[in-house]
A and B are shown apart, each in its own frame.
Chain A
């Protein structure tokens, strides 16, 4: 499980993440919600070490990863699917997938396992990833993250730019990953309604701070909160 304690991150003079604490237990989906600029992406980038934390602590299964390099954090079982999906367009679908499991060497998931999960990718194995649709790219980047058999999955706006039908499919799949593989999922979303529909817990950020940390049902029922931060 992932545990974040009093995490603070600055971009120059701007405080992007301000004393955030949260827990993402194994087998659950924790939704991190909030408007543009609320600090959601910065939170994920700090957890994976792309941005250095100013203070606070991040632990995975009890191991402190706060000051580790990105490559080492990945090796502690944290997979980060970045905003915009991060598919490498110049590589083929299969090359993208293989890349995700290389650090695990023989411990990586077999590519066939990912193709079983996403039959659409199987049909396009040898095509460059640049030819994929938005939904397929999202499947590829999630599948690629699964190649390293992570324990913690950080997803940054997986619904961005996708049609509602595809968003529903992706959300259902994220839920299934938490249930079936026991992953601790931290799901950053602007699409609060979709995210809350599959989440065990909802956290609302504003200006880098946690303004609410509740059950999804309670969040959706709080009209003031919904209007102020969630946009529905």
Chain B
């Protein structure tokens, strides 16, 4: 029973990271109908920047803040410089561009920081809580991860539901032409969407880096899990991304705990294929309501 609870808890923590990556993918998908394959590489860069700031300043929190700020700027920059020029072209053009960006960023990171993965400090201890003499997988740092991701999800929900910026972003995503006719600066909303997405990605990067180490390709598996989580949640819905991420984290944690960790990538793939075959709109799809 303790093992079950422990696997559930650490699954929630893994899932929170997937949820953050899924949010990054969903925010871009619903604004611009592009799957951002460069997301993993973008968060790798921001995490390297955080690592550099932490080692030169000695402050984890300064590095944490710089990573998020760098994500914000990086996301906006990618949208303005790379995506905007192909906005009216078929979406595939932009998708290929993100693949190109991925390759470029991985190569550049290798040139600057080398290809040997390095360690990255956690915010809090990585020693599991001790309950009645047994040490759990779940650590104080996991508590931090879960709380931060919940905080970001709630903040995003509040932004979308309660602010006029959020209203304009939703309108731009659902009906860009109508939004323009109502005076919404739709292109600017897309930039904001990319910037916010990159912040969520940067967050996932610094949260997961202590357990995967930091190298140019360290985050590729996280991007795949994040993608599965996003599809699970319907690709279109931020709450779906969070629920999809956490469900996936818990499911993979059970597979790892009861069937062996080598089966985890296979299990993720099986879940992805199953969802695409049985519920292609995702488990929490809003698409049924979206027919007008």
Contact = CB atoms under 8 A, between A and B. Distances in A.
Interface stretch (A97-105, A168-176, A212-220, A224-232): A97-105
A71 B184 contact: yes
Contact of B182 (A89, A130, A148): A148
A71 B171 contact: no
B290 A90 contact: yes
Nearest to A81: B181
Chain A contact patch, size range? 20 to 34
B87 interface: no
Interface in A145-167: 148
Interface centre among B175, B178, B182, B290 (most CB of A within 10 A): B182
A70 B170 CA distance: 19
Contacts of A70: 180-181
Contacts of B4: none
A88 to B, nearest CB: 5
A71 B290 contact: no
Contact of A103 (B167, B182, B186): B182
Contact of B289 (A79, A82, A130): A130
A75 interface: yes
A155 to B, nearest CB: 12
A88 B183 contact: no
A103 B170 CA distance: 15
Nearest to A144: B182
Chain B contact patch, size range? 20 to 34
Contact of A86 (B181, B184, B185, B290): B181
Interface in B175-227: 175, 177-186
B164 interface: yes
Contacts of B182: 74, 99-100, 102-103, 144, 148
Interface of A: 48, 50, 70-71, 74-75, 79-80, 82, 86, 88-91, 95, 98-100, 102-104, 128, 130, 144, 148
Given A74-B180, A88-B174, A89-B290, 19 more contacts: A71-B180, A71-B186, A80-B181, A82-B178, A86-B177, A88-B178, A88-B179, A90-B170, A90-B289, A91-B170, A91-B174, A98-B164, A99-B168, A99-B171, A99-B182, A102-B164, A103-B182, A103-B183, A103-B184
